[in-house]
């Protein structure tokens, strides 16, 4: 347990940051799930549109420190290749 005022403040900041990052992660996963569902339905137009909406969210996660840059790039690459294979 935090004893010093500095450690108590740091614990509060960590809790806040965790909550914010959790929301960001959830939002990104929702967008990625939309792409997955569109791919599963076999509709290339819908999948391409969902991918177009998911890309900025994923990259925003990178700039905010939620995901590593290479992780986001890998996810985008794999999804885009799957969307491309539909058509």
| CATH code of the domain in which 72 resides | 1.20.58.110
pLDDT by residue, tens only, the chain of 87 residues: 789 999 999 999 999 999 999 999 999 999 999 999 999 999 999 999 999 999 999 999 999 999 999 999 999 999 999 999 998
Decide: 64 and 24 in contact? Cβ < 8 Å: yes
Q: Is the dihedral of CA 61, 67, 72, 75 positive or negative?
A: negative
The alpha carbon of 28 is separated from its chain's Cα centroid by a whole number of angstroms, namely: 3
Alpha helices in 1-87 (DSSP H): 5-41, 44-63, 69-86
Nearest to 42 by CA among 9, 86, 12: 86
Question: How many domains are contained in the chain?
Answer: 1
Q: Is the dihedral of CA 75, 77, 80, 85 positive or negative?
A: negative
What range defines the domain where residue 36 resides? 5-86
């Amino acid at each position: 347990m935090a004893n010093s005022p500095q450690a108590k403040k740091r614990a509060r900041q960590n809790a806040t940051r965790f909550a914010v990052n959790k929301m960001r992660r959830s939002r990104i996963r929702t967008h990625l799930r939309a792409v997955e569902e569109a791919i599963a339905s076999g509709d290339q137009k819908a999948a391409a549109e969902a991918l177009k909406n998911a890309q900025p969210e994923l990259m925003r996660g990178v700039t905010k420190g939620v995901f590593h840059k290479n992780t986001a790039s890998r996810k985008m690459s794999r999804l885009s290749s799957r969307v491309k294979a539909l058509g």
